[in-house]
Chain A
Amino acid sequence: MTELQEVSFDDIKHLVSERAISGENMLLNMGPQHPSTHGVLRLLLELDGETVVNCIPDIGYLHTGIEKNMEAKTYQKAEVMSDRLDYMNTTGNNLAYVMAVEKLVDLDVPERAQAIRVIIVELQRIASHLIFLAATGLDLAAQSIFLYCFREREMILDILELCSGQRMMTTYLRPGGLWRDVPPEFDGAVRDFLKIFPKRVDEYEALLTKNPIFVDRMAGIGILTREDALTYGVTGPILRASGVDWDLRKARPYSGYEQYDFDVPVLTKGDSYARYLVRIEEFRQSVRIIQQAMDKLPGGPVRSENRKFVPPPRSEIGVSMEALIHHFKLWTEGFPAPKASIYSAVESPRGELGVFLEGDGGPKPYRIHWRTPSFENLGVLPVLAKGHFVADLVAIIGSIDIVLGDIDR
C-alpha cells in the first residue's frame, strides 16, 4: 500500500498568506472525507475566525485513469468507461462519446434514435438536478427534500432500467444509434412521469424557494460576476445564473435539439440562490423537451444500417452469413477510424462536456481527452468562497454541483 502523503508546512507556505505563517490565521483541512464536499474533494482552508480567507482545492482522490483505460479498448468497448466519469449523468457521457465517434468515422444516426437519445438524456438531466437538490438540501439541513427528490429519481431510474436493464451505468446509447429500441412500456412510463413531475417540482419549490432559512443560506452567498464566470471558463447552470446566455443545446444544436421549443433560463444575480433557481427552471424546460420529443417520436430503425461500424441485430446472425461475419469482426477487432482528431461537445447538467478524440487509423483511440465541466467549475470555488463563513462554503459547494468523478477522471 502506498503511504499517506505527508505534506509539511513548508510545502504549502507559498499557497497561504503571511498571517497564516505567523499563526494569526488558522489552516483547516476540509475533506477528503467530509459529508458536504460531494465526494472526495479536499479543501485547504485558511480561516480568520470563522471567515474563509483562502480556499485551496486539492483534487485527485478519485483519479481513475479512465482516459488511459479507454485508449486500451476498441471504440465500442471503451464506451462503458464513459458512464463512470460523471456518474450522475451517465447517459449524457454516452452521448458525448458516441457523438464524437460518429463524427470521427462519419456515421449517420436514424431520426428515431436521435429523438430517443434526447428523451433519455433529458431524463438524466432531471435525475442529476434532483441529486443536486437532494444533496444541497441535505447540506443545509433540509432533510425532507432529500427524500422527495430520491422518490422521483427512482421513477427515472426505472425508465432507464426498462430500456437498458441497468439503473445507472446503462451504455444504452451506442455509436450509430441505440443498443436496441425502447420497449412498449416506455411510452406509458415516460408519460406517467411527465404527468407527475411538474407537480412535484411545485412541491420542491413550496418547500424551498420561499423558505426563509433556505433563502438566507443561499441568497447573496457566493456571488459570481459575469466577468469572472467568463474568465474562469465555467459553463452550465452556473454560467447562466451569472447572466450569460450560453447553452450548447441552443448555441450548437446536436441530436435534433433544434426541433424542440424550449427556453434557456438566465438569471443575473450569480449567487447560490440564482444557481438553484436556474436548475429548478431547467426541470420544467426538460419536461417540455421530453413532452415534445414523445409527441413527435418518429418510427423507423434505431441504429444505422452501416454494417462497417454497427453490428447487425442478433436475429440476423442465425440466417445471414454476412451478418455473422460483421458481428464477429466488429466485436473482436472493432472498426478502424481515420487518422484525424475531432472535438465534440454536449450540454451536460453541469456544463459543456466535450470529448477530444484522436484516431490513428486503428480500431482503438490514439488519444481521448474529456473536457469535463466540473473541473472548470471547481476552479471558481476559491473566488466564490472568499470572505464567507465556513458554513456558507457548504452551500457554495452544493450550488456549483461538482462531481468528483467528473473532475478527477
Chain B
Amino acid sequence: MGVEQKLGDMGIVTTTLEQVVNWSRTRAMWPMLFGLACCAIEMMAAQASNYDMSRFGMELMRASPRQSDLMIVAGRVSKKMGPVVRRLYDQMPEPQWAIAMGDCASCGGVFNNYAIFQGVDEVIPVDVYVAGCPPRPEALIHGVLTLYEKVGGEKLKDAVNR
C-alpha cells in the first residue's frame, strides 16, 4: 500500500536486488552436458521432445564447465571418475549448483562395492538429490524445480561469503 502500488499503476515494478538476481539465475540456468551412466539417457529424454526441459530455461546444455551453472551428476561415480568430477566442478564458475541424479549418485544405489563412490557427495557438495533408478524425466524436472526454489531463497550476502 505504499510506493509499490503507486509505481505499479505507472507501469513500474519495484523489487529487491536479491529477488531479481535469483529470478534471473533460475530462468537461464545452463546445465553441463555431462553424463556418466544410465541416468544420462533419462537426462537426454528430459531434454527431448516429450518432456522438454527448455520450458524451464534449460535448453542449452554446455559441454564446457566454464559456461555452465549446474552440474547434473547423472549416474554412478567410480573411483576413477570421482577426481575428474571434482575437477570439472572446480572449473565451473560461481555461482554453481549440483544435482545428484539417481540412486547411484545419491547414495551408491545397488552398487555397494569397491568401485563406486557411495554418493557423489563424497566428492562434491550436492544441492538436490533425485531418487530413482533411473529417475523418470519428470523426477529430474521436479529436482530442477526444487533447486529453483532453493536458489530463489538465496541471500546475496551468503554468496559473497561462500
Contacts and interface: CB of A to CB of B under 8 A. Distances in A.
A63 B34 CA distance: 17
Contacts of A151: 48-50
A168 interface: yes
Contacts of A134: 44, 48
Contacts of B112: 69
Contact of A33 (B42, B84, B116, B134): B84
A2 to B, nearest CB: 5
A56 interface: no
A49 to B, nearest CB: 23
Given A35-B33, A87-B37, A151-B49, A1 B82 contact: yes
B35 A405 contact: no
B16 interface: no
Question: What DSSP secondary structure best describes chain B's contact surface?
Answer: loop
Give chain B's interface residue range (CB within 8 Å of chain A): 35 or more
B36 interface: yes
A147 B49 contact: yes
Interface string B83-100: 110111000000000000
Nearest to A77: B110
Contacts of A84: 37-38, 110
Given A4-B84, A150-B50, A154-B45, A62 B38 contact: no
Contacts of B21: none
B80 interface: yes
B41 A131 contact: yes
B78 A169 contact: no
Interface residues of A, number: 41
Contacts of A218: none
A142 to B, nearest CB: 14
Interface string B102-133: 00000000111111100000110000000001
Contact of A35 (B42, B63, B134): B63
B113 to A, nearest CB: 4
Contacts of B116: 64-65
A33 B88 contact: yes
Nearest to A87: B38
Contacts of B42: 167-168
A5 B80 CA distance: 8
B33 A81 contact: no
Contacts of B75: 62
Given A32-B81, A62-B78, A63-B80, A167 B37 contact: no
A27 B75 CA distance: 29
Contacts of B25: none
Contacts of B86: 1, 4
A4 B91 CA distance: 15
B48 A4 contact: no
Interface in B11-60: 33-38, 40-42, 44-45, 48-50
B115 A88 contact: no
Interface string B56-73: 000000010100000000
Contacts of B34: 33
Interface of B: 33-38, 40-42, 44-45, 48-50, 63, 65, 75-76, 78-84, 86-88, 110-116, 122-123, 133-134, 136
Interface of A: 1-5, 32-35, 39-40, 60-66, 68-69, 80-81, 84, 87-88, 131, 134, 146-148, 150-151, 153-154, 157, 167-169, 404-405, 408
19 contacts: A1-B123, A3-B83, A5-B80, A5-B83, A32-B81, A33-B88, A40-B81, A40-B84, A62-B37, A62-B78, A64-B76, A65-B116, A134-B48, A150-B44, A154-B50, A167-B42, A167-B136, A168-B38, A169-B134
